[in-house]
A and B are shown apart, each in its own frame.
Chain A
Amino acid sequence: MKMPIVRSDLNCMRSLVTVLAAAVVLAVCGCSRSKESSKTVIQNTGSDTMVNIAQAWAEEYARIEPAVSVEVSGGGSGTGIAALINNTVDIANCSRRVEPLEIAAAKKNTGKEPREFLVGFDALAVYVNKKNPLEEITIEQLAGIYGEGGKITKWSQIGVKQPEGGDEIIRISRQSNSGTYAYFRETILGKGRDFKLGSRDMHGSKDVVELVTKTPTAIGYSGMGYATPNVKMLRVSKKGGQPAWAPNVENTLNHTYPISRPLFMYTLGEPSGAVKKYLEWVNSDAGQQIVVRSGYVPLPKGAAQP
């Protein structure tokens, strides 16, 4: 009884020493790095949906403006806004509009209001496995599958026969505070309606697509930028009998695709200096080309903000 405890204490000490050593090494590295470069660093955090595109912008911008480095991280729209409220980031990425409560919190904490920049659009795609014969789906059916009290739990209920057997619909959703989750809830289930419990809640846009790829009877939703050749995106119609539209740039811009949303970047108050220049570049033709390349929908020509 005594022996093991002494031993685990020793192990603890050992790992503590290792951690300390690692910390020292990191600190030294950190110092030397910041000494050699006098780069302006823009901190950019937020929406998981926008991580890919924000990273692409940052990489391209590093080529054009080597003196500025944009550091991108994800975590979710809420995380980005929370960081903005705490004044720890320069730009917050957000795949929904900032909420009045958050604006109030930012004002209280920093004295400034978040300033909004529309930077592009995202079409939320509904993904199914490649082997699934389904090609299109209505919003009503989606609500029946995902919504609280919805009656659809089997593929046969919407007339689909799975080629490899298995009739149960495996619903894949997102963790309850992601921007994608909130947007899907609002547009598909309708205001105030909740999700049916028991969905598999993934912790990132990519994980949803990944799991649908591996699960023949699954259905999931995620930004269309996360599509891979191994999954199928469904065409979506508002109601049975109405035409269904594929999630693509054209259908998003002319508003026929029913589940698309704006993507925002927020700064605290009016941006200035490097941040302002960066945001201007993001909304320029060069910046918007990257939106297209990342699989999202650019701003319509001439709609760029001042």
Chain B
Amino acid sequence: MIELVIRLCGISAILFVFGIFFFVFREGAGFLFGGLNLREFLTSPEWYPTSERHVRYGVLALIAGTASVTVLAMLLAVPFGIGAAIFVSEFCGNRLRETLKITIELLAAIPSVVWGFIGLTVMNPIIMEVFHVPIGLNVLNGGIILALMSVPIIVSIGEDALKAVPDSYREAALALGVTRWQLVYRVLLPAAKNGLLAAVLLGVGRAVGETMAVLMATGHSVNIPTSVMDSVRTLTATIAAELGEAPAHSPHYQVLFIIGVLLFTITFVINLTADLIVRGVRGR
């Protein structure tokens, strides 16, 4: 009986994923196959969904926006996150560890709209002041906010991955007379590689999919960035900002769903790559 329930739970996850994909795809399918110029969609930076003269649905600038913010966020979050995971798991005492873990989990519990608000009201003037730019809502702002949001995930999962390395590895290494640094660098990191990669990719997933915070912190401006001081607009933020007012089943509405499919594909490819890498590592 219990086994059946658990099995159902497992299968339902698959059903939900396919269900969501199916419904999102169905909303956009009509326009995807009839009317949308796919080439323009993917290669044009001109996003004019409500133009009266010439409607253009080009999402290149939006893809560039999502990519730039995510890459910057990961450049900031991965070293910090993995570093913190190593510290929490290997170097700190029990008391400090518990305090740190609770704090980090608290960080993960802050709602994204609050992060966005911090970006808008705290980071914006700081960036304007420090870098002497006319406006602080840009890639840097969004990247920092996203990094802060993904660090807790990377730390939590990364720490679990390091904890999962059997103690016998540590004991054997220490018995051979390695220093702590060598232990981490030569033994634990290779042993926990898969888990750490999963941690990083979950962080990437969080960053790609985050909506509210980037909507508020990046300036929401259709623009291919040339520096981290440029304002951008992300795929997710565009859906959030425009879906509410797009007339149901109009081309604009359907294009927003196609963007949803695009996002789905991006995360799917990321997860698949991760899976393949993990398998490859394991196979060796």
Contact = CB atoms under 8 A, between A and B. Distances in A.
B157 A4 contact: yes
A191 B231 CA distance: 28
Nearest to B231: A200
Interface residues of A, number: 41
Interface stretch (B76-84, B93-101, B175-183, B241-249): B241-249
A176 interface: yes
A200 B135 contact: yes
A182 interface: yes
A198 B222 contact: yes
Nearest to B221: A200
Nearest to A177: B245
Interface in B234-272: 241-242, 244-248, 252
B194 A1 contact: yes
Report, as a range, how many residues of chain B touch the other chain: 35 or more
Interface stretch (B31-39, B47-55, B142-150): B47-55
Interface string B205-230: 00000000001000111110000000
A198 B221 contact: yes
A178 B45 CA distance: 22
Label chain A's interface by main secondary structure.
mixed
For B47, B221, B223, the residue with the greatest tally of chain A CB atoms inside 10 Å of its CB is B221
Interface stretch (A57-65, A117-125, A212-220): A212-220
Interface stretch (A26-34, A76-84, A238-246): A76-84
Nearest to B232: A198
B134 interface: yes
B134 A215 contact: yes
Given A198-B223, A217-B134, A76 B46 contact: no
Given A3-B163, A201-B220, A202-B220, A194 B242 contact: no
Given A177-B242, A191-B52, A1 B198 contact: yes
B164 A166 contact: no
B52 A192 contact: yes
A88 to B, nearest CB: 12
A194 B48 contact: yes
A206 interface: no
Given A1-B194, A203-B241, A216-B134, A177 B164 contact: no
A101 B125 CA distance: 44
Interface of A: 1-4, 7-8, 75-76, 78-79, 82, 101-102, 105, 166, 168, 170, 175-178, 181-182, 185, 191-194, 197-203, 211, 214-218
